[in-house]
Amino acid sequence: MNDEQIRQCVRDGCGSARAVSRNCKAGSGCGGCMPLVNIVVKDELQRSEVEEGGVDLLMPLAQPA
């Protein structure tokens, strides 16, 4: 399994590394790659927030006086 396949699992609805592991089997062997799975899942979730309009959360709420 590569990072693009993990990203696709997230796009398909897996919202955590545990869900990716359970549904796509990434990191389900020895678990040695789970840190990488966590990073890829977190990155893809952040990307999807920006694409869905979450970019407003990154903008300042008020301008300094």
The answer as to whether 32 is a domain residue is yes
Tell me the pLDDT band of 62, cut-offs 50, 70 and 90. low
DSSP per-residue letters across 2-22: -HHHHHHHHHTT--SHHHHHH
Q: Tell me the residue range of the domain where 20 lies.
A: 3-48
| CATH number of the domain where residue 41 is located | 1.10.10.1100
* Residue 25 pLDDT: 85
The reply to whether the predicted model has a pTM over 0.85 is no
The answer as to whether 53 is a domain residue is no
pLDDT in tens, 14-58: 999 999 999 988 888 888 889 999 999 999 998 887 666 655 555
The answer as to whether 58 is a domain residue is no
Q: How many distinct structural domains can be found in the chain?
A: 1
Contact 11, 25 (CB under 8 A): no
* Residue 54 pLDDT: 54
The answer as to whether 39 is a domain residue is yes
The answer as to whether 63 is a domain residue is no
